[in-house]
């Protein structure tokens, strides 16, 4: 609770100097992300401040709760202190969790709030899923959970206990790539490749469900995935190719 209050204080301290420069605000609503569920102390503080800010600035704000992002912040703090894991284990915070990753069973003792992404990267050394935003906004951390795409940066380990996770490493190999990987290579759909877990896994899950999807359907399915190289057009072409070849 003290950590929550501290984070809330930091968020407030960062926001109010901005509020003093009202003329720099755009006309459209500004989105404020509260990294906790609705109704908690942080949510209440931000919503209480919303009215005053709107009145003072003549600027509307949209408050969005991204529950789980706080776990990300907490775990970023935990990463700074490697001894914390054993301290939390002594305090009984850890839990035994077992899952299947790319066909291999994996069991671990871990803080159940730890994001799946951290375990994939740090413990299993899988670097296909990437840490982009950490708050479910970009899709770079996408993996398949029981065949459905999820954002592993905000998925707690407790959520994946007993489930099946597939990362892009689990799709195919260099010598024997999955057809969707071949399609991305054929269309030269990757630039830096940082974001590729998102379009490849969202695209695969979507087309496997809807093999006759049109280009427009595919473009819509990728909505919400960010690529800083602006390679979206080629990614859509790669998915159109994959749809045609797997129909
Ligand atoms: S890192 Fe998970 S959505 Fe951006
Ligand atoms: S290919 Fe570089 S971020 Fe998408």
- At residue 135, does pLDDT exceed 50? yes
- At residue 98, does pLDDT exceed 60? yes
Ligand 1 atom with the smallest distance to the CA of 132 is: 1
| 97 or 60, which is more confident | 97
Do the domains spanning 94-170 and 179-246 agree at the CATH topology level? no
For residue 232 and ligand 2, the question of a CB distance below 6 A is answered with no
Q: Tell me the CA–centroid distance for residue 198 and ligand 1, in Å.
A: 9
Helix (H) or strand (E) holding 101: strand 95-101
104-126 confidence digits (pLDDT tens): 999 999 999 999 999 999 999 99
For residue 189 and ligand 2, the question of a CB distance below 6 A is answered with no
Q: Which whole number is the average pLDDT over 191-200?
A: 96
Q: What value does the mean pLDDT of the chain take?
A: 83
Q: Tell me the CA–centroid distance for residue 232 and ligand 2, in Å.
A: 9
At residue 73, the pLDDT reads 58
For residue 194 and ligand 1, the question of a CB distance below 6 A is answered with no
- At residue 28, does pLDDT exceed 70? no
Helices (H), the chain: 2-19, 41-57, 69-80, 84-90, 116-118, 157-160, 179-186, 197-209, 215-221, 232-246
Q: Which CATH number fits domain 179-246: 1.10.3470.10, 1.10.150.120, 3.40.50.300, 3.40.50.360?
A: 1.10.150.120
At residue 175, the pLDDT reads 95
Identify which of 69, 153, 155 to mutate to test ligand 1's pocket (most ligand atoms within 8 A of the CB).
Answer: 153
Give the start-to-end residue ranges of the domains of the chain: 2-67, 94-170, 179-246
Q: How much is the pTM?
A: 0.67
Q: Which CATH fold would you assign to the domain 94-170?
A: Ubiquitin-like (UB roll) (3.10.20)
Confidence of residue 86 (pLDDT cuts 50, 70, 90): low
Among the bound ligands, the one closest to the CA of 231 = 2
Confidence of residue 103 (pLDDT cuts 50, 70, 90): very high
Burial 110-122 (b: 16+ CB within 10 A, else e): bbebbbbbbbbbe
| 50 or 127, which is more confident | 127
């Amino acid at each position: 609770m003290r950590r929550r209050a501290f984070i809330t204080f930091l968020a407030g301290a960062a926001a109010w100097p901005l509020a003093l420069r009202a003329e720099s605000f755009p006309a459209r609503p500004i989105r404020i992300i509260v990294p906790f569920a609705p109704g908690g102390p942080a949510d209440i503080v931000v919503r209480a401040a919303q009215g005053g800010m709107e009145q003072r600035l003549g600027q509307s704000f949209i408050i969005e709760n991204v529950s789980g992002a706080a776990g990300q912040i907490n775990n970023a703090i935990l990463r700074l202190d490697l001894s914390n894991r054993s301290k939390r284990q002594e305090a009984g915070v850890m839990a035994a969790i077992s899952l299947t990753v790319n066909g291999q069973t994996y069991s671990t003792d871990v803080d159940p709030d730890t994001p799946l992404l951290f375990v994939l990267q740090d413990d299993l050394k899988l670097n296909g899923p990437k840490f982009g935003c950490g708050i479910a906004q970009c899709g770079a951390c996408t993996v398949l959970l029981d065949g459905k795409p999820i954002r592993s940066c905000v998925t707690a380990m407790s959520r994946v206990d007993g489930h099946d996770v597939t990362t892009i490493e689990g799709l195919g190999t260099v010598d024997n790539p999955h057809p969707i990987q071949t399609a991305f290579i054929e269309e030269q759909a990757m630039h830096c490749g940082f974001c590729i877990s998102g379009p490849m896994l969202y695209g695969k899950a979507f087309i496997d469900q809807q093999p006759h999807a049109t280009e427009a359907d595919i473009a819509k399915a990728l909505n919400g995935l960010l690529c800083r190289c602006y390679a979206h057009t080629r990614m859509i072409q790669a998915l159109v190719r994959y749809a045609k070849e797997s129909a």
